[in-house]
Each structure stands twice: as C-alpha cells, then as structure tokens.
Amino acid sequence: MKFKFILILILSFLSLNHFALFGDEKASLLQNEQNTIDIYRENGASVVNVSNFKLAKTGWFFDFDIMEVPSGTGSGLVWDNKGHIITNFHVIQGGDSFLISFKNDKTQYPAKLVGVVPAKDIAVLKLEKLPKNLKPVTIGSSTNLMVGQKALAIGNPFGLDQTITQGIISALERKIKGIGGVKIHGMIQTDCAINPGNSGGPLFNSKGEVIGMNTMIFSHSGSSAGIGFAVPINTIKSMVPQLIKHGKITRPGLGITVAEEYVKAHFGIKKGIIIKYIPQDSPAAKAGLEGMSRDQYGRYYIGDIILKIDKYDINSFDDIYNTLENYKIGDKVKVTYERHGKLKTVDLKLIKI
C-alpha cells in the first residue's frame, strides 16, 4: 500500500512538471507570435509597393504613340517624413516614372528618382505628393547582429502586398556579386522566405528595427530556397543622406580609369589591374603613373599594373572598389605597381570621385 502511494506521488509530480513545461513552451510560443504580430502591425504602413514604368512606342509604321508600360514591381520602405522611399536599384532600373502604393490606401502616389548607387543596389525615390499619414520605419543597426537571431521580412512577393515572413539570420559578412560585377560586402544572409517582389523591402529584428534591405536570393527555380540576402542598414545609412542632399555619393579614388577584364586576358595578365587612362591633372599623373598607350599603327601597349594598395591585393575592379571603402577622401595610400616587369611603389593622396 505504501509502495502504491509513493508511486502515485511520483507520477503526479512528473505529470505536474510535464504540464508546467508544456505551459511554459506554450507561453513562449504565444509571446513569439505576439512579437511577430506587433512588428507587422507597427510597420505595415511603412512598407510600400514600388511600380516601375517606362516609355514605349506603340502603333504601326509612322503612327507612333508614346505611352507608359509597366516594367516591374518591388518593395520599398518609408525613410523619413519628407517622403523619401528607399528601394533597390534593380527595382527602378530603366524606369521613366514610378508609383508608390501604401497599405489600405487605394491612391497611387507618383515619385521621382533622387539618386542611385548601383554597386550597392540602392535607390532613393521621393513622393511628389504625401499621403495623410506617412510613417517612417525605425532604423536600427547592423553592427552587432548575431547568427541565429530572429529576422522578419515584409514586402510584396509576386504582387501579394503586405506579406510577412519570419526566419533567422543564417550568416553574416557575405560577399555577393551585385550589379556591374562589383561584390556587395557585409551582406546579411537570412532564411526568411524572399521571393520576386520582396526586393527593396525591409528586414527587421525582433525589436521592429530595420537591419537591412532584402535584395536577392540564391535559387535554381527563381523562388525562395531559404537563402536570401539583405544589404546591411549601416551601408544604407552611410549613403542615403548623400543621395538625398546631392543626388549622388562621393567616394575616395585614385583618379584613374581601369582597363576591362578582357584587356587583361588579351595581354595575358594574371595579377593586378591595368591602368587604362589617367587624367593629366590627377595626383596619379603627377606621381608619374602611366596608363595604356597606342602607336601610329593602332597597336596598344600596357603601362602600369597596380598590384597592391597598402596591404590589400588588387586583382580586379571589385578589389579596388571595395578596398577604397576603407579610406576617406584625403587619405594617403601606398600603391605597389609593376612597370615593364619591375616593381615600384608610390604614395598617393585619395581624391573625391
């Protein structure tokens, strides 16, 4: 009898603990769900649909009419109270006019192009007319992100507006090839479902802060395969104010033009980048660097081949573009180059380009 009583107590204790654990798990799940719901409710009005139109000729023979035709759609986010919209460059690329749509608002608002950074796939639009309630997103930071933390994406995949997907940050500091063959460094990898139409939309953390802009996916089918990439918000924050103020960004450069990759292949150059042209009044010209030349018969000759900038190896335009992002205009760098098989170095002051 005593044994049965002890057994009943043990079973009761285990059952209570089971239900307690189950209850904690349920409460945790509901808390996570509520967090997702809150982020969606708080930010839905700040995520927009971006429609891209281009001018096209219609008609037969000499009877041409000019009309706007849809060129593509994507997502965007409200940056500030002045009506600036941030999206991807590839969303607005080739467009002549743009329309912005908001959640629960049937009006389509025209927007003009302010500026772009194709190498970072960033574009800024500005609304020509503001809606009554314009709500900017809360800008976060991409400095202290951790692999495994919660991430959420809101956008318009396949035209299905105001779609939210949830996942985690799968990896950080990815280098992904963007437009023009230049890699975008520091990309955030996420397993949030990202599909065509999500481009330009925000990636949020669990606080509802924007930590990146969804840009591209890796997929054989063209649909989400659980590998999406976002431009980090710190990259966007560093460029958008310049685009808003000047319509372009200024960055440090050597003041040279680099030869294309096929030129390297033609001359059998394996390492470094060939200087194609140097303006006469540039610091590079004053320092004695030489570009390509051509004789009276039209034959081209190689000048200097840049191999390093300070400690960084330079073997492509991508290398020099991203290396110079580590510097400011006015900084001095040591350039190692090859001329007729001999290594040389020169100190150059970076100029604004």
Question: E-strand spans in 65-162?
Answer: 65-78, 84-87, 97-101, 108-117, 122-127, 138-139, 150-155
What is the pairing mode between strands 305-309 and 312-313? antiparallel
Q: Residues 46, 121, 170, 319: which is the catalytic one?
A: 121
Q: What whole-number distance in Å separates Cα of residue 173 and Cα of residue 121?
A: 16
199 is catalytic: yes
Q: What whole-number distance in Å separates Cα of residue 333 and Cα of residue 324?
A: 10
12 is catalytic: no
Q: Residues 199, 224, 318, 319: which is the catalytic one?
A: 199
Q: Residues 90, 142, 161, 224: which is the catalytic one?
A: 90
266 is catalytic: no
Q: Where are the alpha helices (DSSP H) in the chain?
A: 2-43, 89-92, 233-246, 261-267, 283-286, 317-323
> What type of residue sits at position 334?
K
Which of 290, 328, 327, 288 lies closest to 311, judged by CA? 327
Task: Answer for the pair 126, 141: CB distance below 8 angstroms, yes or no.
Answer: no
Instruction: List the catalytic residues.
Output: 90, 121, 199
